[in-house]
Amino acid sequence: MTSRLSPILVALVLLVLPATATAADAAAGAPPKATVKIKLGNLQGGKAEVYSKVRVFGTVKPYVRGQKVELTFFRNGRKLVRHRLAVGKGKNGTGKFRAWIRVTRDGKYAASARHRATAALGGDSTIRKSWRVSFPALRKGQCGDVVVGFKRALRKMGYITNGGRCFKGRTARGVLAYRKVNEMARTTHAGAGLVKRVFAGRGGYKVRHPGAGRHAEAPLSKQVLVFAKGDRPVAIYPISSGTPGTPTVTGHYEFIRTEPGYNNKEMYYSWYFYRGYAVHGYKSVPDYPASHGCLRTFIADQPEVYERIQYGEDIFIW
Q: State the CB neighbour count (10 A cutoff) for residue 68.
A: 15
Which among 210, 201, 212, 104 has a CA at the least distance from the CA of 158? 201
Specify whether domain 35-134 bears CATH 3.20.20.150: no
Secondary structure of 263-289 in the HEC alphabet? CCCCCEEEEEEECCEEEEEECCCCCCC
Angle, helices 145-156/169-181, rounded to nearest 10 degrees: 50
Q: How many separate helices (H) and strands (E) can be counted in the chain?
A: 6, 19
- Would strands 251-254 and 314-317 be described as parallel, antiparallel, or unpaired? antiparallel
Q: Where in the chain is the domain with CATH 2.60.40.10?
A: 35-134
CATH class of 145-317: mainly beta
The torsion region of residue 35 among left (phi > 0), alpha (psi -120 to 50) and beta comes to beta
Tens of pLDDT along the chain (318 residues) come to 444 444 433 332 322 333 333 344 345 578 999 999 999 999 999 999 999 999 999 999 999 999 999 999 999 999 999 999 999 999 999 999 999 999 999 999 999 999 999 999 999 999 999 999 999 999 999 999 999 999 999 999 999 999 999 999 999 999 999 999 999 999 999 999 999 999 999 999 999 999 999 999 999 999 999 999 999 999 999 999 999 999 999 999 999 999 999 999 999 999 999 999 999 999 999 999 999 999 999 999 999 999 999 999 999 999
